[in-house]
Amino acid sequence: MEYQRSKDAIDKLTPEQFRITQRAGTERPFTGEYNDHKQPGIYVDVVSGEPLFASSDKFESGCGWPSFTKPIVPAYVTEHRDESLGMVRVEVRSKHGDSHLGHVFNDGPRDRGGLRYCINSAALRFIHRDDMEAEGYGDYLNQVEDV
């Protein structure tokens, strides 16, 4: 499957999705659709469709945003220095969609690598495990466990 950013995909974004993915916005904590989401499947970039995170790598961090220990394909998540808000953080973006996803911090579960990818729900689209094959994501089924 080929993943890319397209004007058509950007034109279909809701105002909130556009604000977050294209303008590096942030959802209010505990308001995102996937914060308490517990279904088996994968989360893909809302712009490009590239696979980003698996439900089996999702954990409850209590921060108010969906949190993951690692990306499905590390090369699909790029890291950038972010000095906004008077602090230094590491912004994460999708490689092909160039969507702002959120930030990565080093306060995740130590037994799972120690990282916390803090991601805006509006940057994601969820694909249930039962639909992954039909939507072209069958290669990632082995990364999805029951949650």
- Give me 132's structure tokens: 């992954």
User: Could you tell me if 51 and 125 are in contact, meaning their C-beta atoms sit under 8 angstroms apart?
Assistant: no
- Dihedral in degrees, nearest 10, Cα atoms 115, 147, 124, 128: 150
Contact 63, 103 (CB under 8 A): no
Residue 147 has pLDDT above 80, yes or no: no
Domains, the chain: 7-142 (2.170.150.20)
The 3-state DSSP class for residue 25 equals coil
User: Tens digit of pLDDT for each residue in 64-80?
Assistant: 999 999 999 999 999 99
Sorted by sequence, the CB contacts under 8 Å of residue 1 that are 6+ apart come out as 49, 136, 137
Residues in the chain: 147
14-72: per-residue pLDDT in tens?
999 999 999 999 999 999 999 999 999 999 999 999 999 999 999 999 999 999 999 99
* Of 95, 3, 101, 98, residue with least CA distance to 49: 3
**Which of the residues are catalytic?**
118
The amino acid occupying position 17 is: Q
